[in-house]
Amino acid sequence: MRRIVTAVLSTITILVLLFSYHTSTDSATVAGSPFVQQPATAGSAQPKSSNNGGSSTSGTSPAVYTGDVASTRWGPVQVQITVQGGKITQSRAVQYPQNNNRDAMINNYALPILDQEVVQQQSAAIDTISGATVTTDGYLQSLQSAIDQAHL
């Protein structure tokens, strides 16, 4: 009888401790993430106004194209590209999963690589980032939408 009481009390204690444990998926801890979701209009092409009296080197002003939002298992992903002279001069994710510390860690690593690869390859034909497969797939889907809008 004494063993049964000890076992029941131990089980109850373990369950109370287990249910009172707070995991690191608290979204309040992600607020300090260096990446911030930027507002963007899905599917719209917006020329940047860089007309400050000077002329650009290629003779055309840069245009910004925002791809459609790609829904992924971990959240929406949206990419924006800047095109000048028929070439992609910049690519960046304006919307991406950032619900917890793991999302922030993965995206802090993967997004700069994806942005750089797009400018180097000038297309959506880039490699998937290991460990960020879902985000990469959404990034490429939105990127292709932006490239299609730019007629590249």
pTM for the complete prediction? 0.62
% of residues, the chain, pLDDT over 90: 54
Name the packing angle between helices 133-150 and 101-121 (round to 10°): 40
> Where do the structural domains in the chain lie, given as residue ranges?
41-47+59-152
Contact (CB, 8 A) for 79 and 92? yes
Q: Does domain 41-47+59-152 have CATH number 3.90.1010.20?
A: yes
pLDDT digits (tens, 9 = 90+) for 66-113: 999 999 998 999 999 999 999 999 999 999 998 889 998 999 999 999
Whether residue 47 is predicted with pLDDT greater than 80 in this model: the reply is no
Separation in Å, CA 42 to CA 26, 118, 124, 126 = 28, 19, 18, 22
Whether residue 26 is predicted with pLDDT greater than 50 in this model: the reply is no
